[in-house]
Amino acid sequence: MKLIKENYKLFVLLYFFWIVLTLDFQLTNLIIGLGISSIVSAMTKWILYDKSKFKIDTPMLLNVIKFFFRLMIEIYKSSFSYIVRIIKKDCEPIFIEINLNTKNPLIITMISNAITLTPGTLTVDTDKNKLMVLSIDDPTKKGTDLNKEIKEKYEEIF
Amino acid sequence: MIYKGILILSWVYIVFGMIGIFRFKNMYARLLTSSKIDTVAALTIIIAMIIKSGISLLSLRLLLIMIFIMITNPVNNHIIARSAYLNGINIKDEIKK
C-alpha cells in the first residue's frame, strides 16, 4: 500500500488505460485491473521512480503532441519518396553518425524511435548522445543533410 | 467512403514493400523496406478504422493501440539491424550484390 501511495501517478495512469481498453465495468474486471496496475507500479519502483521523484525529466505534454503530429507528417512524406526509390531500384544504404545536443535519455529514445519509424532511416546504435543511423541518403553528402534535418525537425521541439 | 480510400492506400504500401523486399538484394536495404511495411501500413490501417468508427470509445481505444504500435514496432527492426551491425556484416560488400 505504501508503494502505491508513493507513485500514485503511474498507478492512476495504468488503471485508466485498463478501464479504457477493457470497457467492462463488472466488479471482477475492476478488481483484476486494480491488482495488476498496483503490481506493475510497485515493481517499477526503483526503475522509473526514486525515493522522492520521477527519475527521468518528462517533456511537456504539448510538446509531445506537437512531436506526434510532426512525426506522422514525416512518416507519410518519406514513405512516398521511398516508393519512388523502390520503383527506380536505387538504394545504397550508409551509416551516418548524428550528434544530438540533449542528454536527456527519454528525449534521445524518442528521437531514435522517430528515426526508426520514418521509412528510409533506422537507428542502429547509440552511445550517450551520439546516434548511429542507417540511411538511404546520398553517399556523397556524407550525411550532413540528415544531421541538420533531424535536429531541425525533432530536437527543436523539446 | 474516405476510409475505403485510406485502406486502399495501405494496400499500396504493403504491395510496394513486398516488391521492394524481393527487388533489393542487399540485407540492409531489405531491412529498411520491411520496416516500412509494418509501420506505415499498420498505421494507415488503424487510421482508416478510426475514421470508420467516428467519434466513439472504440476510436479512443484504437488511438491507444496506435500509440502502442508506434512505441513498440521500431524495436524489432532496430534489434535485427543492430545484431547485423555488431556481427560485422559489411555494408560495402552488401551494396555490391
Residue B36 has its nearest CB partner, among A79, A89, A112, at A79
- Looking at the domain assignment, is residue A153 inside a domain? yes
Distance (Å, whole) CA B56 – CA B49: 12
Residues A142 and A74 in one domain: yes
Q: For residues A149 and A104, is the Cβ–Cβ distance under 8 A? A: no
In which band, very low, low, confident or very high, does the pLDDT at A31 lie, cut at 50, 70 and 90? very high
- The pLDDT assigned to B94 comes to 66
pLDDT digits (tens, 9 = 90+) for A48-84: 666 666 666 777 888 888 888 888 888 888 888 888 8
Residues A76 and A107 in one domain: yes
Q: For residues B4 and A57, is the Cβ–Cβ distance under 8 A? A: no
Distance (Å, whole) CA B16 – CA B33: 9
pLDDT digits (tens, 9 = 90+) for B60-94: 889 888 888 888 888 888 888 888 888 877 776 66
Residues B85, A124: C-beta atoms closer than 8 Å: yes
- The pLDDT assigned to B22 comes to 87
Assess A16–B contact: CB distance below 8 Å, yes or no.
Answer: no
Residue B16 has its nearest CB partner, among A86, A95, A136, at A86
Number of separate domains in chain A: 2
Residues A137 and A101 in one domain: yes
Largest CA-CA distance found in chain B, in angstroms, rounded: 52
| Residue A92 with chain B: CB contacts under 8 Å | 29, 95
Distance (Å, whole) CA A44 – CA A36: 12
- Looking at the domain assignment, is residue A149 inside a domain? yes
More confident residue, A144 or B79: B79
Query: Which of B26, B21, B23, B12 lies closest to A89, judged by CA?
Result: B23
Residues A68 and A136 in one domain: yes
Distance (Å, whole) CA B6 – CA A57: 37
Q: For residues A11 and A38, is the Cβ–Cβ distance under 8 A? A: yes
Residues A38 and A68 in one domain: no
Assess B95–A contact: CB distance below 8 Å, yes or no.
Answer: yes
- The pLDDT assigned to B45 comes to 92
Residues A34 and A65 in one domain: no
List all residues 6 or more positions away from B40 whose beta carbon is below 8 Å from its beta carbon: A75, A76, A79, A119, B10, B13
Domain boundaries, chain B: 2-96
Domain with A97 in it: 61-157
In which band, very low, low, confident or very high, does the pLDDT at B58 lie, cut at 50, 70 and 90? confident
What is the helix, strand, coil percentage profile of chain B, to 5?
90, 0, 10
Residues A142 and A85 in one domain: yes
On the question of pLDDT at A142 being above 70, the answer is no
- Looking at the domain assignment, is residue A39 inside a domain? yes
| Residue A136 with chain B: CB contacts under 8 Å | 29, 32
Residues A21 and A92 in one domain: no
- A interface test, pick of B12, B15, B35 with most A CB neighbours within 10 Å: B35
- The pLDDT assigned to B72 comes to 87
Query: Hey, what's the cell of A134?
Result: 542507417
Helix (H) or strand (E) holding A94: strand A94-99
Distance (Å, whole) CA A20 – CA A140: 50
A8-22 helix and A27-43 helix, angle to the nearest 10 degrees: 140
More confident residue, B6 or A101: B6
- Looking at the domain assignment, is residue A50 inside a domain? no
- B interface test, pick of A71, A91, A133 with most B CB neighbours within 10 Å: A91
Residue B35 has its nearest CB partner, among A17, A83, A119, at A119
Residues A39 and A65 in one domain: no
On the question of pLDDT at A121 being above 80, the answer is yes
Average pLDDT for chain A: 79
In which band, very low, low, confident or very high, does the pLDDT at B97 lie, cut at 50, 70 and 90? low
- The pLDDT assigned to A32 comes to 92
On the question of pLDDT at A108 being above 80, the answer is yes
Residues B74, A76: C-beta atoms closer than 8 Å: no
- Looking at the domain assignment, is residue A52 inside a domain? no
Strands of the sheet containing A94-99, edge to edge, are: A94-99, A130-135, A121-127
Average pLDDT for chain B: 85
Assess A76–B contact: CB distance below 8 Å, yes or no.
Answer: yes
- Looking at the domain assignment, is residue A107 inside a domain? yes
Residue A122 has its nearest CB partner, among B31, B73, B95, at B31
Assess A91–B contact: CB distance below 8 Å, yes or no.
Answer: yes
List all residues 6 or more positions away from A132 whose beta carbon is below 8 Å from its beta carbon: A95, A96, A97, A98, A123, A124, A125, A126, B85
Residues A11 and A37 in one domain: yes
ipTM: 0.82
- Looking at the domain assignment, is residue A54 inside a domain? no
- The pLDDT assigned to B96 comes to 65
Distance (Å, whole) CA A137 – CA A126: 19
